[in-house]
């Protein structure tokens, strides 16, 4: 009998759309006081080769660029170019925005990392067709997802990305 090792990368994401501007609320108050007018829950993404290399560099101690609260970002853009493992970032030419993590993120629990960023009323107001999880210092992206999520014209959109490795 042949024994084979396998691993599975699973990505789920949650986009919550609010009419209110997160910038007008104190930390923690926004999520408690405001309710989203639309919630989008989906699965899937493309793990990028550069992201795989960065994970191995972190594991082996060859990188100090951690995906922590100070170093992780979520980026959104308007490109519809299909995702490919050889890409290294968002594909949008001009309409792209990177945001740092919300307070308390990312988290790590039971084989899962959760990243979350909020884009306020004056940020990323264009069609959201792609997103990435990125390390701010190294500029390396773990993954990329291409899917039309709507056009932001104000308010706050919050993107939460759950990545499970099992």
Nearest Cα neighbor of 127 from 154, 152, 108, 160 is 152
Contact 143, 48 (CB under 8 A): yes
Q: How confident is the model over 124-136, as pLDDT tens digits?
A: 999 999 999 999 9
**pLDDT higher than threshold 90 for residue 6:** no
Give phi and psi for 42, each to the nearest 5: -140, 170
User: How many residues does the structure list for the chain?
Assistant: 166
Nearest Cα neighbor of 164 from 106, 130, 114, 116 is 114
What mean pLDDT do residues 33-59 have?
94
Spatial distance between the Cα atoms of 143 and 15, rounded to a whole number of angstroms: 17
**Across all residues in the chain, what is the average pLDDT?**
94
| pLDDT at position 2 | 75
Contact 113, 29 (CB under 8 A): no
pTM of the model: 0.94
Residue 98: CB partners within 8 Å, gap ≥ 6?
Answer: 73, 74, 75, 134, 136
Instruction: Tell me the domain boundaries of the chain.
Output: 9-165
Spatial distance between the Cα atoms of 137 and 4, rounded to a whole number of angstroms: 36
Contact 72, 115 (CB under 8 A): yes
């Amino acid at each position: 009998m042949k024994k084979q090792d396998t691993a599975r990368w699973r990505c789920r994401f949650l986009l919550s759309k609010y009419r209110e501007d997160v910038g007008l609320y104190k930390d923690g108050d926004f999520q408690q006081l405001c309710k989203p007018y639309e919630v989008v829950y989906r699965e899937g993404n493309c793990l990028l080769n550069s992201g795989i290399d960065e994970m191995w560099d972190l594991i082996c101690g060859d990188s100090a660029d951690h995906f922590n609260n100070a170093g992780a970002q979520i980026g959104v853009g308007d490109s519809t170019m299909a995702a490919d493992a050889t890409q290294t970032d968002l594909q949008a030419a001009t309409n792209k925005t990177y945001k740092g993590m919300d307070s308390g993120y990312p988290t790590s629990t039971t084989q899962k990392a959760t990243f979350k960023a909020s884009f306020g009323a004056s940020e990323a107001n264009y069609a959201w067709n792609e997103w990435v999880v990125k390390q701010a210092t190294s500029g390396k992206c773990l993954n990329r997802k291409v899917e039309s999520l709507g056009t932001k014209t104000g308010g706050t959109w919050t993107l939460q990305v759950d990545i499970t490795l099992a």
